Structure 1
Amino acid sequence: MEKRGWRQPVAIWFRGQNQLWVEGEPDRLFAWVSDGDAEWVEEERQRWVRLREQQRMRELKPLKGETRFRVLREEQEEDDKMEMNVAVHQRYLYEIQGDLHEQEELSSYRIQLREGQDGWSIVDCTVMPYQFEEASRGWSYYHPPSEGDANTSSYNRMRAVQYAETWWNGANPRYQKFEDDCTNFISQCIHAGGVAMEFSPRRDRGWWYRGSRENWSYSWAVANSLKNYLDRGGTTRAARVSSPQELQLGDIICYDFDGNGHWQHNTIVTAFDPMGMPLVNAHTVNARRRYWDYRDSYAWTPRCQYRYYHIPG
């Protein structure tokens, strides 16, 4: 069978999510799956249920989904088995209280397929940390924030948000790239906002970056360590607040998806929806103006804990 034979279910899988975003019928998405009762299928189905609940809670009207994907690698393991890695760019348009908004994500997937009597079908689809590509910078929909959205202070929220908007879908070549890049990205954003590094000869002290070859503090690049540094304040002078409504542009949210006390992810606030709730940018699964609670994430569980940090001016 020609290559387009095994690419067909992959194309339908991702483009079907556009229709699912608007119409909300998850079962239609799984027509090209070999085992509808597989664990990963149930997890995907529940993720879309959570996303639909989130839409209702936000009083969100979905308008349109756009998906582009490119195959990064494909390997035919046997005559009837195929594995491929794909990079996916998804853009969702929606309306809240008459205001038009957009959300974007860049992600990578490892997909396994098998050929049966009815043709090729998906056996497994696993999200992976986004694999940066030079071409990804061309996917940006960058809109600089207005002057009125930022406070004039020693922490320049405008610059932090501009940095997050500029580099949400790419890697600044001045910094090392990490497989799990979320904290490295957030540290860059905070530093771009004018927060000075706190240098130390020890990697478990301060908050600093000196270059490649592991010449950075754990707090610069490890989610749990940055959360601990924000708790101490450090050069960020961050203060924990009790709710997302208290956050401002350029503030930070930390996530413990499993609720086990080990913090795994960080985001930066780059906008607010009409309900006053934060929208965030992030790396690893690269996101732009994603709703702050991450209930649509593969990593989210009902035990998820959040910490909200305001960086004062």
Structure 2
Amino acid sequence: MLAEFPYNRENAFEYAKIWAFQRNPAFINFDKMGGDCTNFASQCIYAGCKVMNYTPVFGWYYKSSSDRTPSWSGVQYLYNFLTTNKGTGPYAEVSDTDNLEIGDILQLGDELEHFYHSPVVVGKTDEDIFVAAHTYDSYMRPLSSYIYKKIRCLHILGYRKHVPD
């Protein structure tokens, strides 16, 4: 039976805090292969749910550099997975900045809606949102310091996993 669970935002936050300026050796570093931001975002999400979706091609998992889904490290693919996932693993809805919480994901894009960066929300005030990210490593970086034309907010609603009947 597939059951739903709350996303552990504190675990996602703690992971981001620990690994924002270093690389977890359990995962390949994509810095020289197009950027590590979505790989880092996936690691943070995984810290908040501890469940992967092992569906080939369209799931969301990382076993090794040669055995992973595009959604683990690709900006658009992560968006596609999180917003359409009806199975095992995390799922999200597109939201606005007012509804963002720690552990949620932002995606920054250009005027043509090509999204290219996936920072993780690690703080929020009335004045700004603060993020952690890889590629251009940062922690508690104000969203207002980024230059972008479009933004997508992915509010993680929870995750699903199989439990015995």
TM bin, normalised by shorter chain, reads 0.7 to 0.9
| Residue matched to 1:306 | 151
Structure with greater helix share of residues: 1
| Residue matched to 2:163 | none
- Distance 1:227-1:293 versus aligned 2 partners, 3 A rule: farther
Structure 1: stretches of 5+ with no match in the other structure: 1-152
Q: Following TM superposition, by how much is the alpha carbon of 1:195 offset from its aligned partner in structure 2, in angstroms? A: 4.7
Q: Following TM superposition, by how much is the alpha carbon of 1:287 offset from its aligned partner in structure 2, in angstroms? A: 0.7
Q: Does 1:238 align with 2:92?
A: yes
Alpha-carbon displacement from aligned partner over 1:115-158 (angstroms, at most 9, x marks no partner)? xxxxxxxxxxxxxxxxxxxxxxxxxxxxxxxxxxxxxx631110
Give the greater-gyration-radius structure (CA): 1
1:267-306 maps to which residues of 2 (within 5 A)? 267-273=119-125, 275=126, 277-295=128-146, 300-301=147-148, 304-306=149-151
Identical aligned pairs, as a percentage? 34
| Residue matched to 2:116 | 264
Q: Does 1:168 align with 2:13?
A: no
Report which structure shows greater RCO (CA 8 Å, sep ≥6): 2
CA RMSD of aligned residues (A): 1.7
Is the Cα contact below 8 Å between 2:128 and 2:144 reproduced in 1? no
| Residue matched to 1:189 | 44
Distance in 1 of aligned mates of 2:55 and 2:144: 34
SS at match of 2:103: coil
Question: What TM-score do the two structures reach when normalised by structure 1?
Answer: 0.45
Distance in 1 of aligned mates of 2:14 and 2:62: 20
Distance in 1 of aligned mates of 2:77 and 2:122: 22
Distance in 1 of aligned mates of 2:145 and 2:68: 28
1:115-194 maps to which residues of 2 (within 5 A)? 154-179=6-31, 180-194=35-49
Is the Cα contact below 8 Å between 2:83 and 2:91 reproduced in 1? no
Q: Following TM superposition, by how much is the alpha carbon of 1:276 offset from its aligned partner in structure 2, in angstroms? A: 5.4
Instruction: List structure 1 segments (4+ residues) > 3 angstroms apart after TM superposition.
Output: none
Is the Cα contact below 8 Å between 1:195 and 1:236 reproduced in 2? no
Question: What TM-score do the two structures reach when normalised by structure 2?
Answer: 0.83
Pick from 82, 94, 102 the counterpart of residue 249 of structure 1: 102
Aligned residues: 149
SS at match of 2:108: strand
Q: Following TM superposition, by how much is the alpha carbon of 1:222 offset from its aligned partner in structure 2, in angstroms? A: 1.0
